[in-house]
Structure 1
């Protein structure tokens, strides 16, 4: 073995190649890697199942096969138990309601519906951040009366409190179905927030500072503009989130979430915006949720691939551009996993 210029024995390449390489091992890193790999495999299997199901559904919708597949799809829809399922395309809310399968509740005014989504009290979902951003902006500008249409048991009130400080004179009003509101009042009493969080009739929306509607407009028999026309005083600001919108026309379908089957509105976006503008509202911002979709078997013309959200301000209502600092703070909370 020859000596190196420094006097140390020189090792040839064969000796180096034959020597095993020993890397430092971190047990925690290995555990995390195993967990990540298992989670990846589960997601991969889930994605494969969805692709296979989508291919089968597309085959079933071929002209001849659909004659036999449609009755089977309806039976599968009726027996659905977990998640959301959709079936049928209808011209009106009433027509959709007449086609609700017998033996199924036609609305969510049930004990089971009141107990849904309890986990959402503890965290802010990614889809909530646009509305949360604008709500904080309006609170900073002096808004104090919030009307939360379809706010369940106060889900947004509890979840948003983890990320923003409510003013001491805040008045948050929720309207929902009777059994859901009953559960909400009990929960507010237990948590000692009944003086701030109130459950009211929907007429109380008149003159509120901020009208919030998260994932609820699709369940109403009338459209939003039609409801607002019934109020004595229009709300100053509208925060609409998680709403299914069709790029052209309004249509209806049936939704099954296990505890009930309900008529489900998919609003035509052009008319939706035009009707609110006719009332004097100005569109401030629009956002999209690409993780939500409505796929209706055998009805591709009525299916949609995203949900939408909006912020509207009544012309004449004082507002200002939201500060960059506020945007950055909320986005940092989302990126850093500030959800409890």
Structure 2
């Protein structure tokens, strides 16, 4: 209806007026600062270090602390997991038996995916994360993964000893890009399975993420650069997909929203 469209336009114009916009910024900043159970974003920064420096001093920084290590998790398989799970399952049937789970927290995807995938008897699934999370993961694995397939490390370079590098919702929290990590490895993983990654169609930037118990610098990569940097290492892109159930909304920063997260599979020829 025309009157409703006109009303929406009037509301949008009002929201853009300096006074209302400034009030909205302040309200969002307070909500960001006091957040306990949401996933919120604030600001645009040129570097990881600049985003970290802007984090409120009232909270912890990053995941390397007990509160972040003890975040609740579920072993349920989310709809956005299925493309990545397909490529991991295909890896196992093709004889690839070692997985480097970059930023895999306490082994969340290992526990979730074993409900649907047939893990090889020789599987070696190594989670790489920060020390506090690794310590918690090892503690839980004593009871939850006594079969000994789930291992933990804080050494990113251990990826060189694995056939598949898997990263689900983690690349955005790293102070380096995936391509930069791979460039430092003496031997490249044969397959890369990437899921839940914020990829902007044209912009690369950093923002600050509030996860409720900590504040984290957060990387968003530009699609063309992300893909071309991986291809330059000799990989071929096998697949890509959209994680439509997950998006990034950056209040008061026009043009920086990410309407859906992305996933990829790359193989060495």
Question: What is the TM-score normalised by the length of structure 2?
Answer: 0.91
Structure 1 residue aligned with 2:178: 224
1:135 equivalent in alignment to 2:88: yes
Number of equivalences: 259
Structure 2 residue aligned with 1:161: 114
Structure 2 residue aligned with 1:203: 157
Structure 1 residues without counterparts, runs of 5 or longer = 1-54, 316-340
Larger gyration radius, structure 1 or structure 2 = 1
Structure 2 residue aligned with 1:109: 64
1:263 equivalent in alignment to 2:217: yes
Q: Deviations over 1:208-247 (max 9, x none)?
A: 1110000000001111101111111111100000000100
Superposition deviation, residue 251 in structure 1: 0.7
Structure 2 residue aligned with 1:146: 99
Whole-Å separation in 1 of the counterparts to 2:123 and 2:144: 16
Q: Which has the higher strand share?
A: 2
Superposition deviation, residue 291 in structure 1: 1.4
The structure 2 residue matched to 1:90, chosen from 40, 45, 51, is 45
Whole-Å separation in 2 of the counterparts to 1:58 and 1:179: 47
1:314 equivalent in alignment to 2:232: no
1:174 equivalent in alignment to 2:127: yes
Q: Deviations over 1:288-322 (max 9, x none)?
A: 0121111111102211110000000012xxxxxxx
By relative contact order (CA 8 Å, sep 6+), the higher-ranking structure is 2
What SS does the aligned partner of 1:274 have?
helix
Superposition deviation, residue 56 in structure 1: 8.3
Superposition deviation, residue 202 in structure 1: 1.7
Superposition deviation, residue 71 in structure 1: 2.8
Whole-Å separation in 2 of the counterparts to 1:261 and 1:59: 31
Structure 2 residue aligned with 1:246: 200
Pick closer, same or farther for the CA change 1:191–1:68 going to 2, 3 Å: closer
Deviates more, 1:86-95 or 1:237-246: 86-95
1:234 equivalent in alignment to 2:188: yes
Pick closer, same or farther for the CA change 1:63–1:115 going to 2, 3 Å: same
Superposition deviation, residue 57 in structure 1: 9.2
Pick closer, same or farther for the CA change 1:252–1:57 going to 2, 3 Å: farther
Pick closer, same or farther for the CA change 1:292–1:192 going to 2, 3 Å: closer
What SS does the aligned partner of 2:61 have?
coil
Structure 1 residue aligned with 2:24: 69
What SS does the aligned partner of 1:286 have?
strand
Whole-Å separation in 1 of the counterparts to 2:133 and 2:242: 28
Superposition deviation, residue 192 in structure 1: 4.6
Whole-Å separation in 2 of the counterparts to 1:290 and 1:57: 26
Whole-Å separation in 2 of the counterparts to 1:241 and 1:58: 37
Structure 2 residues without counterparts, runs of 5 or longer = 1-9
